Amino acid sequence: MEHLDLTQEYLANLGVLLVKLHNIHWNVVGKHFMKIHEFTEELYDQVFEDFDEVAELLKMKKVMPLSTLEEYLEVSSIEEVAAKDFTREEALEMLKADLETMQALATDIRNLADDEGDFETVAMFEDFVAFYSKNIWFTDAMLK
Ligand SMILES: [Fe+2]
């Protein structure tokens, strides 16, 4: 089932994103530090929960979830970033791009799962798409 391969990529993305969001959370600088610091914390708390939920979904589908950092870096469509002082704009542009990557992948998985009659995956990923839509809106609003 094609959507399960994409779900592995989604899991890998969550693994990489969990670390990348902390990188931004720690290293953003400037007068809007606290806003971005708190925003990234809200995001990584959700990503942390989704990470386990998606792996357990794969277990329910009798698929062994990718479970090593090496595999995550190999499969992920989210790019890591080296630590440095990130300006507010750099932080928000990176967040926006990654949230859009996640929203697009979650949408593809939702639609493929629907074609294959996998309503458990459909239900879970509809919530993920809504989460990213909301946070892309927040990011856009902060960038204005
Ligand atoms: Fe923190």
pLDDT digits (tens, 9 = 90+) for 33-51: 999 999 999 999 999 999 9
Ligand 1 centre and the CA of 18: distance in Å? 12
CA of 1 to the centre of ligand 1 (A): 38
This prediction's pTM? 0.96
User: Distance, CA 136 to ligand 1 centroid (Å)?
Assistant: 21
Question: What does the pLDDT look like over 60-93, one tens digit per residue?
Answer: 999 999 999 999 999 999 999 999 999 999 999 9
* Confidence at residue 113, expressed as pLDDT on a 0 to 100 scale: 96
Whether pLDDT at 2 is above 70: yes
Q: Cα(110) to centroid of ligand 1, in Å?
A: 31
Distance 22 CA to ligand 1 centre (A): 7
- CA of 107 from ligand 1 middle (Å) equals 29
CA 25 – ligand 1 centroid, Å: 7
What is the Cα Rg of the chain in Å?
Answer: 15
Which architecture characterizes domain 2-143 according to CATH? Up-down Bundle (1.20)
